[in-house]
Amino acid sequence: MTGKPRPSFPARLDRSGAPAPARPAGLQPNFGTKPAAAAAAAKPAARPTPHGVGLDSQAVRMAMVNKLAAQGISDPRVLAAMGTIERHRFVDSALVIQAYEDTSLPIGLGQTISKPGVVSRMAELLLNGQPGKLGRVLEIGTGCGYQAAVLSLLATEVYSIERLRGLHDKARENLRPLRLPNVHLLFGDGMVGFAKGAPYAAIIAAAGGEAVPQAWIDQLAVGGRLVAPVATTGGPQALMVIDKTPQGLRQTMLEAVHFVPLKSGIA
């Protein structure tokens, strides 16, 4: 991945494999500075309330982090990122009391924000114990922007594609106050990826189909890793890890998961 410059902005999404159309896709290349790094873990807090400073308290987030650690998440970078990004800012006001519970929540248009346990698990799989930050990461399915914000603390750059205009706009609004300079939001068909940003050190998907699209494999760097839910034969979805080695692809099927279906096109 070294030696290839990042694409110029504003970028345009190629939705068909042909040269990109003249109309630029929605993209937020610059948000400013990163949030402060997570502080040391605090004692578990009481169930958060939607009023006052409760949900803004780092102690509330650290209570969630402690639960994630108890579930087996061990990478300190992932735990720090989960403790830094305020999940309640990415859910509807009526649901903020559940923001730090390990549950998925509706975000509109039939989509959900993933459980903290799933977000942290997939992030840890992407890092794979390697030192330092990930390089360039492609996220398929921006949703409300929460996972992109977490990834921004773990990677040098994050390209995140959303096919639903309403969610793309919501993510842009959610992320703007965080001013994350390394997060780039794109509106387009995630099934074709974003070739202009390739090759990617990691690719992560927040929707599951029958198979991993070939475009994602093509855009993954040699030495890179892809983590995505995939439908199993006659059964539930499962997390699939694909490592692209000089000798070829190595696939590993992990635990059962439940994600929204992977779809093509834009809406």
Measure the CA–CA gap between 256 and 74, rounded to whole angstroms. Answer: 20
Q: Is 114 a catalytic residue?
A: yes
What residues pair up with 140 in beta bridges, in sequence order?
A: 161, 205
Query: Smallest Cα–Cα separation from 113: which of 134, 89, 137?
Result: 89
Query: 236: which residues sit within 8 A by CB, 6+ positions away?
Result: 256, 257, 258
Measure the CA–CA gap between 101 and 55, rounded to whole angstroms. Answer: 12
Measure the CA–CA gap between 60 and 1, rounded to whole angstroms. Answer: 38
Peptide bond into 229 cis (omega under 30): no
> Token pair for residue 15?
């939705």
| Active-site hit among 8, 16, 57, 114 | 114
Q: What is the DSSP letter of 264?
A: -
Q: Which residues are catalytic?
A: 114
